Structure 1
Amino acid sequence: MELNDEQFHRYARHLILDEVGEEGQERLLASRVLVIGAGGLGSPLLLYLAAAGVGTLGIIDDDEVDLTNLQRQIAHGTASVGSSKVASAAESVARINPGIRVNRYEERLTAENAATLFADYDLIADGSDNFTTRYLVNDAAYLSGKPLVSGSLLRFEGQLATFRGGVPGHEGEPCYRCLFPTEPPPGMIPRCEEAGILGAVAGVIGTLQATEVLKELLDLGSSLSGHLLIYDALGPTFRKMKAARDPGCALCGTDPTIREIA
C-alpha cells in the first residue's frame, strides 16, 4: 500500500520518525484492529488509532450513549445521547480521518461470535468494563493466536497489559488468567457506575493503550507483554510489575482445561 500525496501530508510527523517512516506508515494503513467497547477506554483508543492511520478499525459494543457517559467517553457528544455507541464512535473516527475503514458491530461479544470476529483482525484491544468480557476476550485472543492489549479503570486508577502467549513465537508469555486466575466474587470489585471514575483517567489509560497497540503493530521498543502497568492518579505514580506465565493456568498452562471458547 503506497502512500498518496494526501497521506504523505497527513502522516508527516510519523514519516520523519526513523522508527516509523514510510514503511511503518504503510504497515499501519494495512493493519486491522478490533476494539472491544466504545466507552471510556475505547473512545481515546479509537480516536488515536484513527489519527495514526490504522487502516481498518472494528468496533463492537451493544450499548447506547447515555448522558452520564459524556464525562469520560470523548468519542461521543451531547447530540449522540440515545444513539448507538458504535455509530457515534464511527462518526467521530470519520471526522478525524475519513480514510479509515470502520467495521461496525452493534452487538455484544459472546462465545458464539468471538472466534469469527477475531479471525479478521491482526490485534485485539480490550476496553470492556466487566470481568466476564475480559476473560472471554483473553481466551478468544489466545486461542485465535492474536495479540491482545487490555486496559481497565476504577476510581483514580488504571491498569494496562499486553498478552501475546497464543501468538506463534511468543509461547511462554503470560495471559490474563495467569495474572487473575478467576473472576472475583460478585460485588467484591464494584463497576464504574457504583464506585465512580475520574474521567481524565480513562484518557490516560486509553491513550497509553493506543500507544501499545501502535508499538505492537510496528514492532517498536519493548513490549508490555510479561508486565502489568498500574497508574495511580492521586500519587501520581506509575508502577510496572513483572508477570510470569502460570504453569497451572487453565488456558495456557502445562495441562490446560480451556481448549475452546466458552
Structure 2
Amino acid sequence: MDVTFSQIITPQGAFLVGLICAIFLYIRMLRRMSAKSRIKLATPTEEISSARMSETELDRYSRHIMLREIGGQGQSKLRNAKVLVIGAGGLGSPVLSYLSAAGVGTIGVIDDDLVSLSNLQRQVLFDEDHLDYPKVFAVKDKIKKLNPFIEILPFNRRLTEAEAEVLFIEFDLIIDGCDNFLTRQIANLACVKLKKPLISGAISQWEGQVSLFNETKNSACYSCIFPVQPADGLAPNCAEGGVMGALPGIIGSVMASEAIKNITGVGENLNDKLLIFDALNSEFNKINVSKNPNCEICKVHHET
C-alpha cells in the first residue's frame, strides 16, 4: 500500500520538524560565528599587520591561524621562513607541496634530474607534460599555481661539497629528501658547520624513516647515526629495489609536518629520535638516538 508523506506527518509533527530544522540552522550559525571569533582571538591585529598579509592570504591560511598553537604569529613565522629542499623527487614532491600550501615564504629546491615516466608512479607534482623537463623548473611551475604568494628558487644542479655552505647559509632550515648517501653526508656536514637544523628522510621499498638532526649542539647529527655508507643491497634506492607508490607521500608528509613545527616552534619534534614506518605491516616505531661522542663530524665542528 502506498503511503503519502501527509499521512505520516501530522500538522503538529510538521511544526516539530520545522522547529528542529530552525534550531539546527541556528546552531550552525553559532558555530560559524565561533570559528570566526577564534580566528580573531588567535590573530591579534599587531601580528597580522606586522606581516602585512592580504585578506586573500588570511582566508587561504585561516585553518592554520585557527590552530591555537600556530595562530597569526606562527603563520607570520612560516611566511618569513626560508627553507631549502634537497631533491625534487618522491619525498620532495609532498614536502614541497605541503610547505608551499602552508605558506612558507621562500622555498629553494636543488636537483639535477629530469622528469621520467617511471617517476609518475609516486612523484605527484609531475605529469606527462613534464617528461624530460628539469624537475626543479617543473616544481616552480606547479607550485606557483598552488600558491602565488610564495617564492620558489630552483637550483638545477647536484649538490656539491664546494657550494653546500654557500647555498645553505641563505636558508633557515634544510630538508634532505635525496636518494644517495654521499649527498646526505654533504648536506649534514654543511648543516653542522653552519649550525642549521636538518630534517632527513629516506625510503626504500616498503619502509621509510624521518629524523631531525643538529637542532642544538648537543643533538645527534646524521653521521652520528649513519657514519658509513650501507653495504650494497642493504638500502637499495628506488631504481634498484623499487618502492610502493604511496610511501613517499606518507614519509614526505611527516617531513613537512616536522618542518612546520620547527619553524613555528610548537609541539614535540623528532630531535634525537628516528621515526620508522613499515608500510607492509602498517607499523610506526620511534626509537631514541643520541650524539655519538666519537663522531668525527661533531668532534670537529660542534665544539662551540
- Which TM class, normalised by the smaller chain length? over 0.9
**Cα distance between partner residues in 2 of 1:226 and 1:189:** 22
Report if the CA contact (8 A) 2:77-2:264 is conserved: yes
Secondary structure of the equivalent of 1:199?
coil
**Cα distance between partner residues in 1 of 2:154 and 2:99:** 16
Aligned residue number for residue 181 of structure 1: 227
Report if the CA contact (8 A) 1:65-1:76 is conserved: yes
Report if the CA contact (8 A) 2:274-2:289 is conserved: yes
Secondary structure of the equivalent of 2:152?
strand
Secondary structure of the equivalent of 1:94?
helix
Aligned residue number for residue 6 of structure 1: 56
The superposition leaves residues 90-136 of structure 1 with CA deviations (integer Å, 9 ceiling, x where unpaired) of 11111110111011100110011100110000000001001111111
Amino acid at match of 2:230: P
Amino acid at match of 2:191: A
**Cα distance between partner residues in 1 of 2:298 and 2:263:** 23
Aligned residue number for residue 157 of structure 1: 207
Q: CA deviation at 1:188?
A: 4.3
Aligned residue number for residue 288 of structure 2: 242
Amino acid at match of 1:93: I
Aligned residue number for residue 141 of structure 1: 191
Aligned residue number for residue 279 of structure 2: 233
Look at both structures and tell me which one has the larger radius of gyration over its CA atoms.
2
TM-score, normalising length: structure 2: 0.81
Determine if the alignment matches structure 1 residue 122 to structure 2 residue 168. no
TM-score, normalising length: structure 1: 0.94
Aligned residue number for residue 96 of structure 2: 46
**Cα distance between partner residues in 1 of 2:174 and 2:197:** 6
Aligned residue number for residue 105 of structure 2: 55
Q: CA deviation at 1:2?
A: 2.3
Aligned residue number for residue 98 of structure 1: 148
The superposition leaves residues 16-68 of structure 1 with CA deviations (integer Å, 9 ceiling, x where unpaired) of 11111111111100000000000000000000000000000001000100000
160, 165, 181: which one pairs with 1:131? 181
195, 198, 216: which one pairs with 2:262? 216
Amino acid at match of 1:99: F
Report if the CA contact (8 A) 2:204-2:235 is conserved: no
Q: CA deviation at 1:184?
A: 2.1
**Cα distance between partner residues in 2 of 1:8 and 1:249:** 46
Q: CA deviation at 1:183?
A: 1.2
The superposition leaves residues 66-97 of structure 1 with CA deviations (integer Å, 9 ceiling, x where unpaired) of 00000011111111001000011111111110
Determine if the alignment matches structure 1 residue 22 to structure 2 residue 68. no
Amino acid at match of 2:242: G
Segments of 4+ moved more than 6 angstroms = none
Unaligned runs of 5+ in 1: none
Q: CA deviation at 1:185?
A: 3.4
Amino acid at match of 2:58: F
Determine if the alignment matches structure 1 residue 89 to structure 2 residue 160. no
**Cα distance between partner residues in 2 of 1:224 and 1:125:** 13
Q: CA deviation at 1:163?
A: 0.6
Aligned residue number for residue 64 of structure 1: 114
Aligned residue number for residue 194 of structure 1: 240
Secondary structure of the equivalent of 1:246?
coil
**Cα distance between partner residues in 1 of 2:62 and 2:233:** 48
Greater fraction helix: 2
Q: Which moved more, 1:178-187 or 1:108-117?
A: 178-187
Secondary structure of the equivalent of 1:225?
coil
Report if the CA contact (8 A) 2:114-2:132 is conserved: yes
Percentage of identical aligned residues: 42
Tell me which of the two structures has the higher relative contact order, counting C-alpha pairs closer than 8 angstroms and 6 or more residues apart: 1
Aligned residue number for residue 37 of structure 1: 87
